[in-house]
Amino acid sequence: MSVLESIISGVREDEERRKKSKEHLAQMLKDVPKVRSAREALLRNKFSVIAEVKRSSPSKGDLAKIPNPVQLARTYAEGGAAIVSVLTEERRFKGSLVDFQAVRSAIDVPMLRKDFIVSEYLVEESRAYGADLILLIVAALDDHQLKSFSEIASGLGMDVLVEIHDEVELERAMAINPNMIGVNARNLKTLEVDQRSFERLLPQIPSGILRIAESGMSSKADVSHAIDFGADAILVGEALVRAENPKHLIDEFLSCARQS
C-alpha cells in the first residue's frame, strides 16, 4: 500500500466515525456563513501566498505543536496571506475540523480545507464547516469522482483547487474545466520533492487558469523559481509553522514577485 493509499484508508475510516446524519449536515449547510471567493482573493494581486496551519506531515513528522491555531492564522492574515489553509486530516497531519472551525470564526480571509476529499459527504462537510475552497487531488480520484465532486463544490459556492503531479494528471484535470490548478512537487507515493515539476508543468497550464505551486517552498530562491515558471501563488506550510516570524516570511515571499 502506497503512502497515498494508506492516508485515504484512514480518511475513510475517520469519515465514518465522524459522519453526521443528512438532516444535521443539511442544517449546518443552512447556517454556514456566506462563501468568501478564494479565486477573487488570488486575483487581487500579481502574486499571492496561501499560508497553511500544519502540525505534522508524513514526510517530516512533527513540524510544530501549534497550541493556538487561531493566533497563527491571524498572523498569516495580518501578514498578507490571501488564503489560509488548515489541515484537517487527523492521522498523518494531526489536523482537525475543530481547528478549522476555530480559525473560520476568527478571520475574514477565504479558507482552504486541506484534506483528502474522497467522497461527496466530505465535499458537503467542508462547506458545512465554512470552507471557501477545497482541494481535489487527481491522483486520489477517478474521472467520475473528480467531475462530480467539483460540480458539487461549485454548486455549494466553493472554489476548487485541482492538484496534479504529472502530465497525465494535468490532462485529466483539464477535462473538468478548472479555474485553478496546483502543481505539487511532492510525489504522494514516495514523498520525495522534485521542484523540476514546476518547470515542466506550470508552463503547460493554459492562461486564464490560476497556477499554484505546492510543496518544497522554504526560501526566496524557491519562490522565485516557481514565479519564473508561471506560478500565480504558492501554498506553503512547513516553512511558516517553523518560522520565528511567519509574518515577516510571508512578506519576503511576496517580495519575490515585486522584484521579478
Active site residues: 52, 54, 114, 163, 184, 214-215
Residue 83: name the closest of 236, 186, 193 by CA. 236
Alpha-carbon torsion angle 233, 3, 137, 139, nearest 10: 120
Q: Are strands 61-62 and 56-57 parallel, antiparallel or unpaired?
A: antiparallel
For residue 74, the surrounding DSSP H or E stretch is helix 69-79
Alpha carbon distances (Å) from 139 to 102, 145, 195, 197: 30, 11, 18, 15
Residue 232: name the closest of 200, 252, 206, 196 by CA. 206
